Structure 1
Amino acid sequence: MAHRPLPLLACSLLALALFGLAGARAADTTPATPKIFAPGAISGPAGVDCLTFAPDGATVYFDQQAGWNGFIMESHRVGDGWSTPQIAPFSGPWQDHDPAMAPDGSFLVYTSNRADVAGGPALHGGHLWRVDRRGDGWGQPQRCPTW
């Protein structure tokens, strides 16, 4: 079975998310007032963007910039707040950012400057990577579209 290239898949995921949000907003005619998400817990002095939620809404992934590096962070709902964010187990030594969760939570796609081969040098730019959900954890990141 042939796999679709990731850019098309990523665009499809984005379209599904946007259509879902548009459908939810269509019934509500009240203008939305933007609010800072989880101030002091997730939103803070560091550069944070590209939040993506697990399907159950109880886990959020986002990128956080720290100097020259960027990490994908993970936080879990705790009561009516969020746990202290931790670097996701598949992120850390590279410039990882812009995570997007599959609608069913089975994988996460992100960009990274990680080396194309183990032990290789960091890239001068980046590629798209995919990491699959494995039970309560994550598998090994795979460069797209090599899967």
Structure 2
Amino acid sequence: MSFVRNRLPAIVTLVIVIAFGLFGGLLATRVGLLTVPSAIGAPYGLPGLRVVPLGETGWLTWADSVAALVLVLVVYRSVRGFWGTWGAFVLGSLVAGLLRAVVLSQVAGAGFGGYLGYLVGGLIAGLLWGIALGWLPALASLPRRTAGRLPAGLDSMG
């Protein structure tokens, strides 16, 4: 039980990236403004953890899944409080955005200017999604109180 309680922010992050893997395409088509970053090469959201490829993307799915696992790993390694976990989520989403940008620029065969554009787009998208969703794992990192116990684990009755 303590493993789940101590690593709850990483579990919440894993649920988020699985949700982006399952429903990310639906999210991008339903919210039209999310397709605008994709039009300029920036990712439309956080990387999704998928088991099967989406369409004919092939190994791009694996690159997206690796970026999602990097995000989960960065949050897993964070053992700080609310703000530290939020910062770890933002950092993980920045790193995931950079990984996705590198892969997308290689697939597109972009030149130096395009490569820089992909990197900037990946950084901005990662930063925005990290700030927007980082509070969810951060809430999971808040300490819990148990009734009738002191923080040291001693019984309050004596």
Q: Give the TM-score band, short-chain normalised.
A: under 0.3
Q: Which has the higher contact order (CA 8 A, sep 6+)?
A: 2
TM-score by length of 1: 0.25
TM-score by length of 2: 0.24
Q: Tell me which protein shows more strand as a share of its residues.
A: 1
Report which of the two structures shows the higher radius of gyration computed on alpha carbons: 2
Q: Tell me which protein shows more helix as a share of its residues.
A: 2
